[in-house]
Amino acid sequence: MKITLAQLNYHTGNFATNNKIIIDAINLAKLEGSELIVFSELAVCGYPPRDFLEFKDFILQCESSIVQIAKHCEGIAAIVGSPSVNPKIEGKDLYNSAYFLADGEIKKVVHKTLLPNYDVFDEYRYFEPNREFAVIEYKDLKIALTICEDLWNLNENPMYINCPMDELIKQNPNCIINIAASPFSKVQIETRQQVLQNNAIKYKLPLFYVNHIGAQTQLIFDGGSCVLNANGEIINELKYFEEEIKNFDLSIENNKLKILNCNEIFLTETKLPDKYKDLESALELGIKEYFRKQGFSKAILGLSGGIDSALVLYLAAKALGPENVKAVMLPSQFSSKHSIDDSLALAKNLHVAHEIISIEETFNALQLSLKKQFEGLPFDIAEENMQSRTRAVILMAMANKFGYILLNTSNKSELAVGYGTLYGDMCGGLSVIGDLYKTEVFELCEYINSNEEIIPKNILTKEPSAELRPNQKDSDSLPDYDLLDKILFHYIEERKGPQEIIAFGFDETIVKRILKMVNSNEWKRLQAPPVLRVSSKSFGFGRRLPIVAKYLN
Amino acid sequence: MKITLAQLNYHTGNFATNNKIIIDAINLAKLEGSELIVFSELAVCGYPPRDFLEFKDFILQCESSIVQIAKHCEGIAAIVGSPSVNPKIEGKDLYNSAYFLADGEIKKVVHKTLLPNYDVFDEYRYFEPNREFAVIEYKDLKIALTICEDLWNLNENPMYINCPMDELIKQNPNCIINIAASPFSKVQIETRQQVLQNNAIKYKLPLFYVNHIGAQTQLIFDGGSCVLNANGEIINELKYFEEEIKNFDLSIENNKLKILNCNEIFLTETKLPDKYKDLESALELGIKEYFRKQGFSKAILGLSGGIDSALVLYLAAKALGPENVKAVMLPSQFSSKHSIDDSLALAKNLHVAHEIISIEETFNALQLSLKKQFEGLPFDIAEENMQSRTRAVILMAMANKFGYILLNTSNKSELAVGYGTLYGDMCGGLSVIGDLYKTEVFELCEYINSNEEIIPKNILTKEPSAELRPNQKDSDSLPDYDLLDKILFHYIEERKGPQEIIAFGFDETIVKRILKMVNSNEWKRLQAPPVLRVSSKSFGFGRRLPIVAKYLN
């Protein structure tokens, strides 16, 4: 028999489009003689649907999609993710479900047991956990059908008190199918492969895994759907960062399932971690999808002559095409000549159009307007921020006039310590590199330049500066980025406290100063643009901290 | 015996302060001969601690606070809310607990069973639910000790599959104690009283209820701790919007508990809903606490001559004192004369200092800078937004120079439909009236003016206008606020879909247009300031929607 894995790109709430791509895939699989096609978690509505799940209208549209899709399941079965209504009065009103469709109708509905409710996940906000377990029998298949997190409880400090596969295995299934919505992070591909392998090994069963591909604002889904044999070897993988539909031939004898057209040779094709290439692919997909799914095509951004905006320009040009990107240089009396020259060289390398718009006149007009109020007071952070905000006003005026989306160029280090101007350089519809520490920005640029000098070398070697007062350098206000980023990583990604970080050998004064800066700037980050998430802990809705708190600050 | 209810104002993460007010209250209660003092949910760390709970250091500080507090519990027992560590390997690492302290030590720890994970609540993100039930015996008391949500499952469509009081009642307790962190909303006081009454009646037990008071950024805790008799009558209430510590004399005979110093006369003192007075108190507390807990005292805001900024100025002056508030008028060539005159009259009535800073020169300089790019193009939304953003740059410059926090003046109607300029009038550290529909803004202003004309009548009667182009009126772009707000309420608070709203008798075209506006502006609201929450569904972290989705838009 033939089974098809469909790794597709859904658009949250766009039922018409999602239905169409699901039904098209079913028809294609039928033509190719497949007997079962598997789609990913919450495919009909896209993932994450978030509070749309609280609207009865939204759930009705999910149900109606399932009915329409089921009609196409004649001569083929399909497993499709969708929310479903909990018929019981007690408990939450919904389940996160996998529909088993065959003979033109709904044959069975399996619910998710383990509901992730950490980091960016809020599933217990909407769904009741499953408490009943039954394998699905279809032809010779006996499927242990699970949904994403259901396989993620095999570790030394399990987050859940039960393990759905421990229940299902009692019914003697001959394979595991897992439908997922597992977002990318720099460590996720390896972690995910490991989790799937551990399950195949523990339960001695082949495993079919189908993930989302595509991005939904902050979350980037990298695909990488795969098939494992009962030894826990990944014998085939679908593409990363691209849609793919793939068939697998099986044989089942004495309730033993074998995958025929995959042999051990495939093992060498399994994806190996490729940090910077993956990072670049993820960020480009994140940009592309943010624009496409909002119906925009053109981006604008301010080029400062520094490395952050250079990297964002490079990524935007690759994601949207250089013809769809506009670079704007916004010099002031404090801008170095090299800032313009380097920016011009970069725009030229990338074939991106540019404008040069001075902020001097506007900055002077602002100072004149505030002359009476600021009389006799020294130039300080107020004037620095005024420049940054003037740039934002001009960039947003261009965006509003011509239909661009402004891309934000803040990095994770500066977002962390609040080294940025709210309503100034913190503006933008999307933060492209807000989940990359400054040191990672440098590393990624060096990777990009590894074959040819795309980003002018001078941009990579100059000392970072906001250029908001004469001879300003980042190092006037911040520790070296090497040191800063290490401490930030311990605090943000690893959630280590001050004593634990100091115990790693860092200076107490610096550690406490940095943690205080992070916690004191929560109010700024609350108003930051959505950040493309590429780490295990990104700023945004996966990191939720109080604002008026008094802890370490 | 005497029991003390301590309704106090905690500061999230501020262990030193929280410990001090808890220990001071214990010592006071001891002096007054009390044998048990009850504090609210998560008192030691403040509510909500959010992701601080993921830091071991934070939990260690909670534990150390409990040990310090326990030392003061000699001759008196105390019930104190705190996170506690789950000793089991399986499940989440923490419980949301109530410590029972006596004889200088921890006698017992009771865990919360029902973990709210909807709207602004994220408790299942951190806590494992309790599954074991035991009443606490102390002297003649047999306490069914519960934590907030534990009592909130008595309705026709219960969110949880179990009810902790149904377990505890089997052990024959003689009272219920509930420690809570229940935030204010316009409907919450009545709902909360009803829930407590239903519990006392169902279980035929007197009930002691202790709530938080104070505000934590968006959430306003209104207090209203109370005591109910076994008939479900609220026989005494603590203050609303203020701290209070109150003693109650009890007698216990044959496991029947009676409250001695409260009789039926107290019934008349129970709080009745007083919509506008409560709303005013809540918003003032919200402002006051946001400033105090961040160590700021002074606010600035732009006065447009319209009703929204007028209301915010009034509330800020009351919350912070008129001497701590600065009003700034920022006229342009499109400002009416009455805008300045009305603003001056308002500032005078409120004894608030003001500045007049024209934006004309800066707006002209910006237009000049963009002359080449905008050549030949008509005046449009780009120029409108430029004016609004110029005002924000000036207000933020004043804030940065003098240490003000900028107050945002957007209302819920305009936040909903995106009728505001991001990085312009949407700026501010705190959105004061972002949870009040425009019609509610009018109503609250009329209430404020009910005795004397504090807000000049002309501000209340003029037609709303953004004054960003000649003769602009809100009604050019939006339906009448009466109609708009009704449809928004059905959509936002009630989560009704288009068909349901149309079925109420609203015009289909208008309904669809409004819902499309709401959903298309999610990206703007993501970058809006935190909103003081006064409704059952406020914009902010209690309403979580995708940005790049395609649903109703």
Residue type at A95 in one-letter notation: Y
Active site residues of B: 41, 112, 148
Closest CA to B482 of B452, B458, B453, B514: B514
What are the residues whose beta carbons fall under 8 Å from the beta carbon of B286, sequence distance 6 or more? B215, B220, B319, B430, B432, B532
pLDDT for the residue A493: 98
Judged by a CB distance cut-off of 8 A, whether residue A154 touches chain B is: no
Record: contact B369-A394, CB cut-off 8 A: yes
Residue of A367, A547, A552 to mutate, testing the B interface (most B Cβ within 10 Å of its Cβ): A547
Half-sphere exposure of A510 (CA within 13 A, CB side): 19
- Residue B262 pLDDT exceeds 80: no
Closest CA to B412 of B438, B446, B430, B388: B438
Judged by a CB distance cut-off of 8 A, whether residue A378 touches chain B is: no
- Chain A residues with CB under 8 Å of B216 CB are 546, 548-549
ipTM: 0.96
Which H, E and C letters describe A333-396, residue by residue? CCCCHHHHHHHHHHHHHHCCEEEECCCHHHHHHHHHHCHHHHCCCCCCHHHHHHHHHHHHHHHH
Judged by a CB distance cut-off of 8 A, whether residue B58 touches chain A is: yes
**How would residue B274 be classed by pLDDT, with cut points 50, 70 and 90?**
confident
> In 10 A of CB A337, how many CB atoms?
9
Record: contact A550-B17, CB cut-off 8 A: yes
In A265-352, beta strands by DSSP E: 299-302, 325-329
**How would residue B164 be classed by pLDDT, with cut points 50, 70 and 90?**
very high
Q: Dig out the tokens for B422 from the structure.
A: 């991001």
User: Which residue does chain B place closest to A431, by CA atoms?
Assistant: B527
Record: contact B158-A118, CB cut-off 8 A: no
> What gap in Å lies between CA A483 and CA A478, rounded to an integer?
10
Closest CA to B472 of B419, B433, B425: B419
Set out the domains of chain B in order of their start, with CATH numbers. Answer: 2-273 (3.60.110.10), 283-526 (3.40.50.620)
Cβ A407 vs Cβ A300: under 8 Å: yes
Cβ B178 vs Cβ B196: under 8 Å: yes
449-488 in A: which are within 8 Å (CB) of B?
Answer: none
User: What confidence tens digit (pLDDT) does each residue in B501-538 have?
Assistant: 999 999 999 999 999 999 999 999 999 999 999 999 99
Record: contact B11-A548, CB cut-off 8 A: yes
Judged by a CB distance cut-off of 8 A, whether residue A427 touches chain B is: yes
Record: contact B398-A370, CB cut-off 8 A: yes
* Ordered DSSP codes for A164-186: HHHHHGGG--SEEEEE---B--T
Record: contact B397-A362, CB cut-off 8 A: no
Q: What value, to the nearest 5°, has the Cα angle with vertex A368 and ends A362 and A373?
A: 130
**How would residue B225 be classed by pLDDT, with cut points 50, 70 and 90?**
very high
Mean pLDDT, chain B, rounded, equals 96
Comparing CB atoms, the residue among A91, A530, A544 nearest residue B161 is A91
Give B109's strand partners: B99
Residue of A550, A552, A553 to mutate, testing the B interface (most B Cβ within 10 Å of its Cβ): A550
- Chain A residues with CB under 8 Å of B370 CB are 357, 394, 397-398
User: What confidence tens digit (pLDDT) does each residue in B146-163 have?
Assistant: 999 999 999 889 999 999
Half-sphere exposure of A399 (CA within 13 A, CB side): 23
User: Which residue does chain B place closest to A429, by CA atoms?
Assistant: B523
339-358 in A: which are within 8 Å (CB) of B?
Answer: 355, 357-358
Record: contact A50-B545, CB cut-off 8 A: yes
> What gap in Å lies between CA B463 and CA A3, rounded to an integer?
65
Please list the helix, strand and coil fractions of chain B in percent, rounded to the nearest 5, in that order.
40, 20, 40
> What gap in Å lies between CA A105 and CA A68, rounded to an integer?
9
204-263 in B: which are within 8 Å (CB) of A?
Answer: 215-217
CA A426 to chain centre: 20
pLDDT, average across residues B26-35? 97
Residue of B59, B393, B515 to mutate, testing the A interface (most A Cβ within 10 Å of its Cβ): B393
- Chain A residues with CB under 8 Å of B46 CB are 546, 549
Active site residues of A: 41, 112, 148
Q: Dig out the tokens for A437 from the structure.
A: 């520490």
271-300 in A: which are within 8 Å (CB) of B?
Answer: 289-290, 293-294
Question: For strand B207-210 and strand B175-179, is the pairing parallel, antiparallel, or unpaired?
Answer: parallel
Closest-CA distance of chain B to residue A176, Å: 24
- Residue B270 pLDDT exceeds 70: no
Give B183's strand partners: B221
Closest-CA distance of chain A to residue B325, Å: 15
Judged by a CB distance cut-off of 8 A, whether residue A132 touches chain B is: no
Per-residue model confidence as pLDDT tens for chain A (553 residues): 999 999 999 999 999 999 999 999 999 999 999 999 999 999 999 999 999 999 999 999 999 999 999 999 999 999 999 999 999 999 999 999 999 999 999 999 999 999 999 999 999 999 999 999 999 999 999 999 999 999 999 988 999 999 999 999 999 999 999 999 999 999 999 999 999 999 999 999 999 999 999 999 999 999 999 999 999 999 999 999 999 999 999 999 999 999 987 654 455 556 666 889 999 999 999 999 999 999 999 999 999 999 999 999 999 999 999 999 999 999 999 998 899 999 999 999 999 999 999 999 999 999 999 999 999 999 999 999 999 999 999 999 999 999 999 999 999 999 999 999 999 999 999 999 999 999 999 999 999 999 999 999 999 999 999 899 998 999 988 999 999 999 999 999 999 999 999 999 999 999 999 999 999 999 999 999 999 999 999 999 999 999 999 999 9
511-550 in A: which are within 8 Å (CB) of B?
Answer: 523, 526-530, 541, 543-550
Taking the complete model, does pTM exceed 0.90, yes or no? Answer: yes
> In 10 A of CB A446, how many CB atoms?
12
